[in-house]
Chain A
């Protein structure tokens, strides 16, 4: 194994910090600054993985994540690209997707069986003879997938951060650097984002010309100027994963997702180098020219065994120069063209004694059985587009570096609405049609020579400045005449294995055959063949696919196009989207008390409420005890989550009248009324209690889950009605405590109240403002649970003090707290509906016996006409009370009510009632079965049918005497 190269090569490795790493159980010597891929190549191993379908041995193609040949398994996660893993953080990795070992993968038999696995074969296989799928499914599940997920990993801390800038520059290569500098010098704030750990992009590995002095000078000064500029913030090792409207950019850096809002954006994302298609072009050791440059310049790795360069452009010749200067044994440059554009390059090769072959290509490559890597290449004369003639020469080499051209990294631009058009003259796609405020610079903009790239970056900055209204100089000439794309670097071989898409193991014939089956649109070719659906998402396959499909369907490449680019640009862990994973919830003022009293919590929207107090194992008994306490003595429940709305103003009563279904104009001060809200469609959407505190002041409650909607709708209607009122949502400003039971009055009198609590002074449904103990309250007599009950609405600041004093005052009467479960059972015994539980998205007042709450004398209310229309039609269903013996199977909410084989309704509430010693519930039934004494059929768990008796409501205390005490 040769040593690493000295500087100026190997800029990223730290030669004084060796690392003892391991890959696949074998020692891997490396240096800090290496990636797993560079360390492996330095150790002489090219084989890193096995391909997806055929399990062919694979090595790096791009060294930049533009292919998936380097997917390996790490301790925490599978499917990581070896060239993106720093060896210091990933010292122990293994191969994946192998049966046996990496070098002896038994699944490679699939390569031999290739002719039975044509493109899309799975659409027509695995189903005959009948029943065979059972067996195939097991085989496929075992064979499919790449790496193995580590299910015992604890998620890392991930979070998000907002960032704002005047200009976001995506890509810190030469065009991005020059754009950032130009913009920052003009005074605006710039955010510069790059995937790599250092600035410079192509300046750090690519050779722009034979002479390196200009490039080196530019690189040094530009990078230094940007790194030290006060108005440029750099995010390195960061990936911009999408473009969203108004320049909203998700940028992933490590475990943080930045949400960047930029006023303008410059995309300097660069271009993806393209490969040549020939038989066995996937052998380990066959790489793109830029990949070799990265190995030499970043990691100081000069792979031995002889290098052949396959050139479709001048860039490849420059790579050969660099390799030669680094001391590699360069055997030949093979050019698909008749000559390089720059004749000086030919002279350079002659000077160095490097053979050149013109109008020639590698037609097929051979694999060495022992190393499973490239052994030799066969050169053939080119005669026409994709056509070869005679064999010219055979070259033994371990490395083949190729460049057939470049494809702009178009993903972000296309997400933003940009379009790709193919220019037949330069055989390249170019972007156009970008939205306002988004500009391109550099090779993504089809500019390639260094001076033009730098000028293009400055021009992009000028465009951004102009769109921000900042004065700027004129655009300069950034014209680039370089032709970097070969028009047809595709040489199909009769024996195949001439790969177009390495991720998906797709050969030329696979793409062409898809079109022959009728899938002529590139979108269909993609979906049928899976081209471009692998981890590299078309970065190396979109261009050859477009060319092949265009030719096969006799259309232009422009017409054929590429498939839709969608975010994320690079894979995004779900943890990044989840962020810090906090679960906001709301607690009432008495939450600490409930916790100490042994509450079992249940969510009600975002609120946490006590379901009952006691141990989970004795749930039913605890609830029964709470219910008995309320029926026989006194209980107290925290109903703070209930919505509360304060409505004030001269038009308050008129507004109430127009908004709710009931009448409120004549509601006396000091009284409450039931307030039902229907939607414009006539559907019951909320209910509550409206207390008239003064002529021009109502305090209205609403359901916990519905109050936000009620408040919004009040504001929206008044935006149209323009009445003289003020509406405030005071749900959290007020807490509420409900004291219920025959002894409730005695408890409050013991506490002391400024309000006269006698039955005459404070009748059922009355409301007063005053004090209980020393706490200011709004006090209402309500009937939800069917006992004598008082609801105290108190400013939240005083709530827990009031609760404590009620608990103390109630001791002589055995007062105990009760929870949501007991309350639901108590109200069910009274047949009271809960909106959202006993009503659904279609329930109109007539179905649930709320006709009495509709005031038809007043001119209009929200939804009135719809309610009238619905009332004219015969009822399709009706909510009824039903009962069953305790021995019967207990229906659950949602169980269906069946009549003559048809579904006529469903159960909405059902509980065991200890007070009544029966199962009771509410259900929608056919109107013909809605009379007390009728029977309804309910389909319970497991399809067991029960016959329930329809009961008159309420089940308990028929004459409602107990709440009128």
Chain B
């Protein structure tokens, strides 16, 4: 079984982790079209290459992000989400489109739109 290096706990057996899906960039919930929103909700990027994924160390309930090559299954690095989400979400009641935009690593998101 694989060893995954948790940023908080160090190298642990992969059985100690829970997979949380791909890190996706959320489109503007108010301004996007129904189709754009459905693609965000239901589609995952399936090109061969490095993907960004949510992983949680189950025992310590710690969420982090892993960059993994989805063909060789090699995990290139793991890091705290604060690297991508570095400011708090806007609490103002007035609105929505400026949720904090997560920094996206160049290779990781590749929305072709091919169905």
Residue total for A at the interface (Cβ-Cβ under 8 A): 28
- Shortest distance between the CB of B57 and any CB in chain A (Å): 11
The answer to whether residues A715 and B88 also contact, given A248-B1, A722-B82, A859-B95 and a CB cut-off of 8 A, is no
A383 to B32, CA, bound (A): 80
A723 to B87, CA, bound (A): 9
- Shortest distance between the CB of B34 and any CB in chain A (Å): 5
CB of B88 within 8 A of CB of A724, answer: yes
Q: What are the residues of chain A within 8 A of B41 when measuring CB–CB?
A: 680-681, 866
Pick the contact of B37: A658, A716, A722, A865 (CB < 8 A): A865
- Is A860 close to B, CB under 8 A? yes
Q: What are the residues of chain A within 8 A of B61 when measuring CB–CB?
A: 711-712, 715, 729
Q: What are the residues of chain A within 8 A of B32 when measuring CB–CB?
A: 865
Q: What are the residues of chain A within 8 A of B29 when measuring CB–CB?
A: 860, 864-865
A680 to B87, CA, bound (A): 22
CB of B88 within 8 A of CB of A716, answer: no
CB of B2 within 8 A of CB of A245, answer: yes
A711 to B29, CA, bound (A): 24
Q: What are the residues of chain B within 8 A of A864 when measuring CB–CB?
A: 29
Interface string of A131-169 (1 = CB under 8 A from B): 000000000000000000000000000000000000000
CB of B85 within 8 A of CB of A722, answer: yes
- Is B94 close to A, CB under 8 A? yes
CB of A721 within 8 A of CB of B89, answer: yes
A238 to B42, CA, bound (A): 48
Chain A stretch 841-889: residues in CB contact (< 8 A) with chain B: 858-860, 864-866, 869
Q: What are the residues of chain A within 8 A of B42 when measuring CB–CB?
A: 681
CB of A651 within 8 A of CB of B1, answer: no
- Is B59 close to A, CB under 8 A? no
A721 to B29, CA, bound (A): 15
- Shortest distance between the CB of B32 and any CB in chain A (Å): 8
Quick one: closest A residue to B37, CB to CB? A865
Chain B stretch 29-52: residues in CB contact (< 8 A) with chain A: 29-30, 32, 34, 37-38, 41-42
- Is A769 close to B, CB under 8 A? no
Q: What are the residues of chain A within 8 A of B73 when measuring CB–CB?
A: 245
Interface string of B1-38 (1 = CB under 8 A from A): 11100000000010000101000000001101010011
Quick one: closest B residue to A713, CB to CB? B20
CB of B91 within 8 A of CB of A654, answer: yes
Pick the contact of A719: B3, B63, B91 (CB < 8 A): B63
- Shortest distance between the CB of A468 and any CB in chain B (Å): 15
Interface contact tally, CB-CB below 8 A: 72
Quick one: closest B residue to A651, CB to CB? B91
Quick one: closest A residue to B36, CB to CB? A865
Pick the contact of B94: A245, A720, A721, A859 (CB < 8 A): A859
Assign chain B's interface to a size class.
Answer: 20 to 34
- Is A893 close to B, CB under 8 A? no
A680 to B41, CA, bound (A): 7
- Is B100 close to A, CB under 8 A? yes
Chain A stretch 638-671: residues in CB contact (< 8 A) with chain B: 651, 654, 658
Q: What are the residues of chain B within 8 A of A719 when measuring CB–CB?
A: 63, 81, 85
Quick one: closest A residue to B28, CB to CB? A865
- Is A244 close to B, CB under 8 A? yes
Q: What are the residues of chain B within 8 A of A869 when measuring CB–CB?
A: 34, 37-38
Pick the contact of B100: A720, A858, A865 (CB < 8 A): A720
Q: What are the residues of chain A within 8 A of B1 when measuring CB–CB?
A: 244-246, 248
Q: What are the residues of chain B within 8 A of A720 when measuring CB–CB?
A: 81, 85, 89, 100, 102
Interface string of A173-217 (1 = CB under 8 A from B): 000000000000000000000000000000000000000000000
A716 to B85, CA, bound (A): 12
- Shortest distance between the CB of B79 and any CB in chain A (Å): 12
Q: What are the residues of chain B within 8 A of A654 when measuring CB–CB?
A: 91
A762 to B63, CA, bound (A): 40
- Shortest distance between the CB of A605 and any CB in chain B (Å): 16
A722 to B101, CA, bound (A): 12
- Is B93 close to A, CB under 8 A? yes
- Shortest distance between the CB of A677 and any CB in chain B (Å): 16
- Shortest distance between the CB of A336 and any CB in chain B (Å): 45
CB of B100 within 8 A of CB of A716, answer: no
Besides the known contacts A864-B29, A869-B38, 16 further A-B residue pairs in the complex with CB atoms under 8 A apart: A245-B1, A246-B2, A654-B91, A658-B89, A712-B61, A715-B63, A720-B102, A721-B100, A722-B100, A723-B89, A859-B95, A860-B30, A860-B96, A860-B99, A866-B37, A869-B34
Q: Can you report 13 A-B residue pairs in the complex whose CB atoms are below 8 A from each other?
A: A248-B1, A658-B89, A715-B61, A715-B63, A716-B56, A716-B63, A720-B85, A721-B89, A722-B85, A722-B100, A723-B91, A860-B29, A865-B29
Q: Which A residues lie at the B interface, using CB under 8 A?
A: 244-246, 248, 261, 651, 654, 658, 680-681, 711-712, 715-716, 719-724, 729, 858-860, 864-866, 869
